[in-house]
Structure 1
Amino acid sequence: MTEEQFRRHVRKLAALRGWTLTYHTHNSQRSDAGWPDEVYGHPKARRVIFAEFKSDTGRIRPAQRDWLQHLAACGYETALWRPKDLHRIVAVLAPDGPRAQLPENL
């Protein structure tokens, strides 16, 4: 599964669970380096998730790591999501699910 196929799959799953895609980086060359790929909001659950998508073998760049860690330190839910993590993503996207968290080995 490519990163784009994975992102579209998660987007559909999120919509089914009441999340709204509030931001998507259409052309990363025109946005700040490292800014997360997508931002999801769930007004009823009062939650916001900043998500970076990678394939199972994709590498995160230093600027991406910095942004995710900064947003997490500010109290936002942040995630580095890969296809192999789909079971955890499904749980997080439940409106009353656990908060998105960065992997410890980021």
Structure 2
Amino acid sequence: MTEEQFRRRVRQLAAMRGWSLAYHTHNSRRSDAGWPDEVYGHPAASRTLFVELKTDTGRIRPAQEEWLHHLAACGFEVALWRPRDLAQIVATLAPDGPRATLPGTLRTRKTT
């Protein structure tokens, strides 16, 4: 599955569960380095979710990791999602679902 196919699938799941797409980086060359791919909002659930999407083998760049840590430290929900995470994605996108969390490999890094 390509990142674009995965992105479309996540958008579809989010819309089905009442999330609205608040922001999508259309051209990353004109955005700050590392800013998450998508930002979803669920007003009824009072939740905002910043998401970096990768293929199952895609690598996260240091600037992307830094942004995810910064946003998490500010109290926002952040996620690094891959197609293999589909069950967790579906659960997290439930309005009353669990908050998104970073993978263990990213949780230990401190923000600067």
TM-score (norm 2): 0.94
- 1: distance between equivalents of 2:101 and 2:4? 21
Offset of residue 86 of structure 1: 0.4
TM-score (norm 1): 0.99
Which contiguous aligned blocks of 4+ residues in structure 1 show a shift greater than 3 angstroms? none
Q: Unaligned regions of 5+ residues in structure 1, if any?
A: none
RMSD across aligned C-alpha pairs, in angstroms?
Answer: 0.3
Offset of residue 65 of structure 1: 0.2
C-alpha distance after superposition, 1:53-83 (max 9, x if no partner): 0000000000000000000000000000000
Equivalent residue for 2:51? 51
- 1: distance between equivalents of 2:13 and 2:85? 14
- 1: distance between equivalents of 2:5 and 2:83? 10
Offset of residue 104 of structure 1: 1.0
- 2: distance between equivalents of 1:76 and 1:101? 10
Letter of the 2:96 partner, please give it: D
Q: Unaligned regions of 5+ residues in structure 2, if any?
A: 107-112
- 1: distance between equivalents of 2:36 and 2:5? 17
Q: Secondary structure at the match of 1:96?
A: coil
- 2: distance between equivalents of 1:28 and 1:86? 25
Letter of the 2:103 partner, please give it: P
C-alpha distance after superposition, 1:29-75 (max 9, x if no partner): 00000000000000000000000000000000000000000000000
- 2: distance between equivalents of 1:13 and 1:67? 24
- 1: distance between equivalents of 2:73 and 2:101? 11
Equivalent residue for 1:14? 14
More helix by share: 2
Residues paired across the two proteins, number: 106
Equivalent residue for 2:5? 5
